[in-house]
Every structure is written in structure tokens, then in C-alpha cells.
Amino acid sequence: MELISQAGGPTTEAGWLAMLVRDASGPNGSRDNPDRGQGNSAVVRVELDKLLAGERLKPIGIASGDTIYIPAAGYFLVSGQVERPGQYRLERGTTVQRAITLAGGFTKFAAKTRLRVKRIIAGEPREFQTQLDDRLQAEDIVIVPDSFF
């Protein structure tokens, strides 16, 4: 957290995950239960949102040559019969219901029982029926169709 703060803190586009990338053969390479990356690198994942909220996490030592990477947050889109269709920031655990709430809720013409999600799976676009408690993934499109009545 100290290094992130010294760098000016996370931007508004920052996601909820920070990654510490280090050389696995270096002095800290085998600590902190890292996932093995390509070559001799190791990655330690840190839940940035919890860290920024003040939750105490296990201290992680930083060594010369380590890199801290904070990827941009994902986004999702809501289209169709909602008050404010558009693109929204994806927070951890965002459900279809949360997405619709962020988009201002259903219009009076919404078909609330025929919600769909478009998602890219293995490079192919797929569309499927969804429920309000289903979780969204980055780049999902929530579709709220018109009611026939």
C-alpha cells in the first residue's frame, strides 16, 4: 500500500485486484504462495479493494525488481428497457439485478422475465437467458427486452 500511495494511488479506472510480479529465482520468489507465471516469474494477487478499505492483509515484502500491476476495471453494458442504458464499471460480484439498478431500473415496458446476457466465451459470442442473481463478467451485455403487453 505504501508503494501504491507513493505512486499517486490507484486511478479511477483501477480494478479491484493488484498483482505483484517478481522473479521466482530472486530473494522473495518463493514467498507469499505465488502463482507461477511464464518463465521464472511469480505472481502474488492482492485484493486491492479490501486493502483500500483498511482490511489488514498478510504483509508482503517487496524486493528490487518487483513490479506492482493494477489492471483496469472491467465494464459491462446494459441495453434495452432500462432508464439509463449504457456502460458501467464492473465491481466484484456484480449481479444482473445490481446492473439493472445502476442503469436506473426497469422502464414500464420491460419484459422482466426474459432477461438475456451476451458474453464472449472462448472467442465466440453467446447469448443466454439470465436470472437477477446471476453474476456478470467483464464485457457482458445485459439485455432487457420489450414486453409484448
pLDDT digits over 74-120, tens only? 999 999 999 999 999 998 899 999 999 999 999 999 999 999 999 99
DSSP calls for 17-44:
EEEEEEETTSTTTTSS-PEE-STTEEEE
What is the CATH number that goes with domain 75-144? 3.10.560.10
Which residue intervals of the chain bear CATH 3.10.560.10? 75-144
Q: What is the pLDDT of residues 22-57, one digit of tens each?
A: 876 655 544 444 454 555 678 888 888 787 778 877
What whole-number distance in Å separates Cα of residue 74 and Cα of residue 138? 5
| Predicted structure pTM score | 0.68
